[in-house]
Copies of this chain bind each other. A is one copy, B any other.
Amino acid sequence: MRATRLHQAGDVRVEDVADPRIQQPTDALVRIVMGCICGSDLWPYKSQPRTGNPRQMGHEFVGVVEETGAQVTSVKPGDLVVAPFTYADGTCAYCRDGLHTSCPQGGQWGVNGVDGGQGEATRVPYADGTLVPLPVSEDSDLLPDLLTLSDVLCTGYHAARTAGVKPGETVAVIGDGAVGLSAVISAKLLGAERIILMGRHTARTDLGRDFGATDVVAARGEEGVAAVRDLTSGRGAERVLECVGLEDALVQAAGVARDGGVISRVGAPQYPAVPYGFPEFMRNLTLTGGVAPARAYIEELMPHILGGEIRPGRVFDRTVPLEQVAEGYRLMNDREALKVIVRP
C-alpha cells in the first residue's frame, strides 16, 4: 500500500510499504478514508535528521474497518470509525481512569509495526479499546468535524477540562493554531463567559471569534500580558490554555493568569523546564494539562458535532490527495494552511 514516510527534515514522501495484516486477535485492519497533518508533525518535519528507517507519519484518521481479529467485539467490518492519536487497551487502570495515553499496552501510530494515519490503511492494535464507531456514512459532510476527534478537538478540550473551566469564568487561550482554536470551542462548551484568544494571524483569530472568542489580543510578551490585564480589570484570567509548547508561551501564560489560577499546557513542550520558580509559587499558579487522552473524550464530544452545535472541522482549510502529502506539509509549515486534510 501507499503511505507517508519522513526521511529527514523537509523530505516527506509517499512510498510503497507492506500491506498491514492482522497480527493479534485484538487487532483490526482499517482502510483510511480521511487523515490529516498535525501541528506536531511539523516538529520532526523541521528537525528530523536523515534516517535509514523512515517513520510512517500521521496519527489522526477516520476509516472503515475491513477485518477484525478473533477477539474484537466492538467494531465489525464495514463500520466507519475514528481513532484517537494513540491506541490503548481500554481495560487497564489508566484507561479506566480516562488516561489512555498512559496505558502500558498502548502506543503511537507509525512505529513498532503499526502504520501511520497518512496512508491507505493501518493495523489497529487493541481495536476494542481504541476505535469508536461513527454513526454516519463515509461521504458525510461531517467527516472533517469527526476527524478532529482524533486529536485536535480532544487536545483543546483536554486543556479546558484539566484547567477546570467553569461557567462564567474568564479563559485566555494562547496560540491561534488548530489546537488553540479547538480550545476556544472547548472553553465555550464548558460555559466560559469570556474567552480571550491570543494570536497574531487574523484569518485564524477571525475563525476563533466564530468559535466563541469574545476578545482577541494580537500582541505578545509583556505587551500582550498588559492587554489581557487591561481587559480583565487588572486581574488576569482564571484559566489559561497554553496551546503552543514554547517557553515564551509559558511565560505569557503566567503573565495573563490570575493569582491562584490554572495554566493548562497542551502544546508539546519544546523546552526542558518550566520557568515557574519563586514568583509563580508566591502567586499560587497551578500548571496542569499534558498529552491529551483523546479516547476519553470522543463519546462526550461527538454529540456536539452530530447535533451541529460545534463545527471543529472548520480548522481544515485545505485538502490534498495522499500522493501530494508533501505539499500539505509545505503549506502548513509555511503557514499557508492552518490544517490540511489528506485523502487516500
Q: Which residues of B contact A282 (CB under 8 A)?
A: 101, 290-291
Bitwise interface map of A from 151 to 172 toward B, beta carbon under 8 Å scored 1, else 0: 0000000000010000000000
Q: Which A residues between 260 and 289 are near B, CB-CB below 8 angstroms?
A: 260, 265, 268-269, 271-278, 280-289
Q: Which residues of B contact A276 (CB under 8 A)?
A: 273-274, 287
Contact: B102 with A283, CB < 8 Å?
A: yes
Q: Which residues of B contact A99 (CB under 8 A)?
A: 259-260, 284
- A94 adjacent to chain B (CB < 8 Å): yes
Closest chain B CB from A94 CB (angstroms) = 6
- A335 adjacent to chain B (CB < 8 Å): no
Closest chain B CB from A157 CB (angstroms) = 14
- A97 adjacent to chain B (CB < 8 Å): yes
Closest chain B CB from A286 CB (angstroms) = 4
- A93 adjacent to chain B (CB < 8 Å): yes
Q: Which A residues between 72 and 109 are near B, CB-CB below 8 angstroms?
A: 93-94, 97, 99, 101-102
Q: Which residues of B contact A293 (CB under 8 A)?
A: 284
Contact: B288 with A102, CB < 8 Å?
A: no
Contact: A281 with B260, CB < 8 Å?
A: no
Q: Which A residues between 207 and 239 are near B, CB-CB below 8 angstroms?
A: 235
Bitwise interface map of A from 301 to 336 toward B, beta carbon under 8 Å scored 1, else 0: 000000000000000000000000000000000000
Closest chain B CB from A58 CB (angstroms) = 19
| Given known contacts A259-B94, A272-B275, A276-B273, A101 and B287 CB-to-CB distance under 8 angstroms | no
Query: Could you pull out 7 A-B pairs where Cβ atoms are within 8 angstroms?
Result: A97-B260, A99-B259, A102-B284, A269-B278, A272-B277, A274-B274, A284-B289
Q: Top 8 A-B pairs ranked by shortest CB distance?
A: A284-B290, A102-B259, A273-B273, A286-B288, A274-B274, A99-B260, A272-B277, A287-B287
Q: Please name 7 further chain A to chain B contacts, defined as beta carbons within 8 Å, in addition to the given A268-B281, A269-B281, A271-B277, sorted by A numbering.
A: A102-B259, A273-B275, A281-B290, A282-B291, A284-B289, A286-B287, A287-B287
